[in-house]
Amino acid sequence: MHDDRTITEVRLARFVRERIAPAIYARTVPLSLSSWDVADEPVPALEAMRQEFRPQEHGAAWGRPWGTTWLRLQGEVPESWGSGPDTAVEVVVDLGFTTEAPGFQCEGIAWRPDGSIIKAISPRNQYIPLKLLGTGMAVDFYVEAAANPDMAQGWTFAPTPLGDKATAGGAPQYRLGTIAIAELNQCVWELQQDVWTLAGLMEQLPLELPRRHEILRAFERMMDVMDPDDVAGTAAAGRQALATVLSRPAYASAHQLVATGHAHIDSAWLWPVRETIRKCARTFSNVVALMDEDPDFVFSCSSAQQLAWIKESYPELFSRIREKVRAGQFIPVGGMWVESDTNMPGGEAMARQFVEGKAFFLAEFGIECREAWLPDSFGYSAALPQIVKAAGSRWFLTQKISWNQTNRMPHHTFEWEGIDGTRLFTHFPPVDTYNSDLSGRDLAHAERNYRDHGRGTVSLVPFGFGDGGGGPTREMLAAAARTADLEGSPKVRIGSAESFFRQAEADYPALPVWVGEMYLELHRGTYTSQARTKKGNRRSEHLLREAELWCATAAVRAADGFEYPMAELRRLWQLVLLQQFHDILPGSSIAWVHKDAERNYQAIGTALESLISQAATALLGSGDRQFLLNAAPHARDGVAALGAGEPVPHPNAAQTTQHDGGYVLDNGIIRAVVDADGLLTSLRDYASGREAIAPGQRGNLLELHRDTPNEWDAWDIDEFYRRNVTPLVRAESVRLSSDDGNAVVVVERRVGTSTLTQHITLAPGSPSLEIATSVDWQEREKLLKLGFALDVRADRSAAETQFGHVFRPTHTNTSWEAAKFEICAHRWIHVGEPGYGVALSNSSTYGHDVCRSIRESDGGTTTTVRLSLLRAPKFPDPDADRGPHELTVTIRPGASIADAVQEGYRTNLAPRLVSGAAAVEPLFSVSNPALVVEAVKLAQDGSGDVVVRLYESLGERSAGSITAHFPVSNILATDLLERTVEAPGVMPGARGADLSLRPFQLVTLRFVRG
């Protein structure tokens, strides 16, 4: 037979484009339009409807960037429309949509005149069924049209002023398209879905497979029997020509796909939070409208924050969502407040994501989510398995690891083992997207890509337009129905995430194991971009620790009584958790988002300082004695951990002497030499006598790199940045400064067009040298690193993560190790060899790199640790990071892991000196410093019980005890949600508990007051 395949495929494409698609709405009549432009920020629907609407031309330009235009649509349905057996009447609204990037352009939501939501209008979902209007044959409703600019710009990553309302300008962004009453031909629409599904399948089948040619010939028969001049009249015949190939059942061994409706809505990204709230309303209104039409449709919705917004701003829609939750169609998943970043949030913040998220879902819907749902976060901390399990969940889903640049994950379904040994059933959907449209390409890719064939037979596919929202469409549901049992395709079943996980557990019992973090080999710049946002996060986390501790202590100890501010603390926690969303804290959002974040952090700080002050006053009373409120888990300046007492001054001041054009700083514990360039040439601790700085090398070396990633500017640091570096050796000045017993050297430098001042400080009694760097940063596309070349043969580094630390090799034996050229650490990083190590802590820095070299001079090993201080990407915020910054780093020679843990708290919990009358005994004492108290608070249920969260911090088996210093009637081990559980190694007693914990074990204890 002659090969006319290509000819027939081209014929089919044109037949669909020019004959079938136009015949779906064969008859249309324009609507009468009027409009009102909102002056500034969005207003409630009923307020908008009270305004004066003026006549609006069809096809007119509209919408300044981030503006809102309200349209009123009016008209009458022509007689006899929709009366045929295969016809229905709809309103079609095209706001000027483009064909690409559905969530990254203008959007709208349709409202009835009574202020109730109908459904959304979006690029791939432009219709409103007449029956939803509830006005018979009359049409009269409103569309709230949002002129969100296209920040994606075809993913060219070109700088744009559109990300800040102040610089976006006022030029119209869009031009109205067709807005009309239309008669839908249901048979033609069904034919279009038949063709789309079969054509997508055909394109994915191998040329040598008979099935591909069978479908092609069916298409040929379809086009032959249909009349191109009467598509509506012959559509049924066309469908009949395809019926045989559509009815053939799938192979018995076909891969199974559980398809769950989804709409990945970034809580902020290329739009501000205020627009996300409207995106949620648009998406969720579409979802419930689809559910009304299809009772089998299931939608998975993560992020309690987004549903909290709907409850507050769209109560009528929220009540409809509640109904669908009860019906088992609208299903909360994930159990987190937002889909947060997991690299940078601290341990307690990561725990609170689940505490607040699960509490919301339980309170509002009576549902406890059993899966963690993080498809798009930029890598996954090795501490997550334990945190997820401690929150009462049992499964984990991610997708983003499919973006790895270098290595491919070896499994799609596996057990993930965390730093403490906890294992978590994990799935990584082989469809490689969380925004599937259930096309033939997506389904075929999921089946081909699945790496566990022969052991497992099922995977998950989240479907629906996402990132900017939109969600599933009726076309996707049609595709799912057609591929439920279709030869050549995987078998598709609509279902919930939970139904998938239960099926997968039964299907694949002997799972492979992945140990440690799931490091994303991409987006490494997110550890550094938008430094002010990161500083706000770190500061807020520690202020929350202090506020909860002192408010709990005051509630138990204050003689005159003190009311624990539960509601206010939860509100502030939720605001901090929102900022940890995976495009806010990572610094990958538009300028508007980060300005909002900085304002939020300022407000959070003000509120928490007020709570701390109130609690301190209640605890200490009135007086002029100076007390140190020590919120750290270790004693400080003679004051017990978690208590308040008068600090014991160190007897000797730190000394400074001149040396070879520079200075020597010495406090009897460590000795540092700063040369005439302001660089650290020597650092010794007297206990070991060892030199920490490598021979011939220097520390405190600032280096400026070219930072021009191939794409994803704010997200990525590409490995080739290392090849273009300028060491900042020359100092403008190096001088001494007086500072109440501290030894301080001030170094001033110029970096391009930026100025930089460092205060190198050695305090009396301090085991570490502090380097505080102030920068007026005016660079673009540059990366500023601060490095220390250390005389340590370290095969691995230890970096703090949530409730512990993670080891990473310093060598690059494999591609997996080479890919980790930029890593995340929380408050500290440590490198060492047996018997000796060096710890570096920081106040707000997360990005680090560690490398090693062998010296020719003596054969020794130099391990270089560098901290990434600042970047200057141009997309999506062209002015990212420009302006003033203050960053603090400490370096501690002769340090163990335990010293590093302590140093991290010292650097991030600044001494808090308060005047008062009497010291305050801590609520708790812990006998072993390896057991670190991370949080002290009152119980969520308002009982007044005291809850303590602690963890084993050294990565070894540690035993000790915790003792309460207030009346206790019972002690219970709980999960993160404060429900009683069995906790291995916890032995409660009368006033405390004996603990024998495995490495990094996390424990929550409830002390019942009595």
Given 150, 376, 467, 877, the catalytic residue: 376
Contact yes or no for 569/551 (Cβ under 8 A)? yes
Sole residue written with tokens 């599933």: 472
Separation CA 591–CA 584 (nearest Å): 10
Tokens representing 244?
A: 């045989």
Angle between helix axes 347-365 and 315-326 (nearest 10 degrees) is 80
Omega before 709 within 30 of 0, i.e. cis: no
**Beta strand pairing status for 256-261 and 491-494?**
parallel
Cross-strand partners of 662: 659
Say if residue 274 is exposed, middle or buried (CB neighbours under 10 Å; 0-12, 13-18, 19+). Answer: middle
> What single string gives the DSSP state of each residue in 884-896?
EEEEEEEEEET--
Tokens representing 573?
A: 């926690």
Cross-strand partners of 797: 808, 831
Q: Which residues, other chains included, contact 3 with Cβ-Cβ below 8 Å and sequence gap of 6+? A: none
Q: Which helix (H) or strand (E) holds 443?
A: helix 440-449
376 is catalytic: yes
Strands (E), 464-507: 491-494
Closest CA to 699 of 633, 771, 649: 771
Sole residue written with tokens 């889903």: 397
Closest CA to 427 of 403, 408, 401, 445: 401
What's the 3-state SS for 224-264? HHCCCCCHHHHHHHHHHHHHHHHHCCCCCCCCEEEEEECCC
Query: Is 604 strand, coil or helix?
Result: helix
Separation CA 491–CA 453 (nearest Å): 15
Tokens representing 570?
A: 């939860």
Separation CA 704–CA 779 (nearest Å): 10
- What's the Cα-to-Cα distance from 154 to each of 190, 410, 469, rounded to whole Å? 32, 32, 18
Tokens representing 496?
A: 């919930």
Cross-strand partners of 960: 995
Output b/e per residue, 809-820; b: 16+ Cβ within 10 A: bbeeeeeeeebb
Strands (E), 778-929: 782-790, 796-801, 804-809, 823-824, 828-833, 836-842, 847-854, 861-870, 883-893, 912-916, 924-926
Separation CA 280–CA 853 (nearest Å): 52
Closest CA to 717 of 628, 594, 822: 822
Output b/e per residue, 506-536; b: 16+ Cβ within 10 A: eebeebeebeebbbbbbbbbbbbbbbbbbbb
Contact yes or no for 950/997 (Cβ under 8 A)? no
Contact yes or no for 108/72 (Cβ under 8 A)? no
- What's the Cα-to-Cα distance from 817 to each of 412, 797, 811, 821, rounded to whole Å? 21, 12, 7, 8
- Positions annotated as catalytic residues are 376
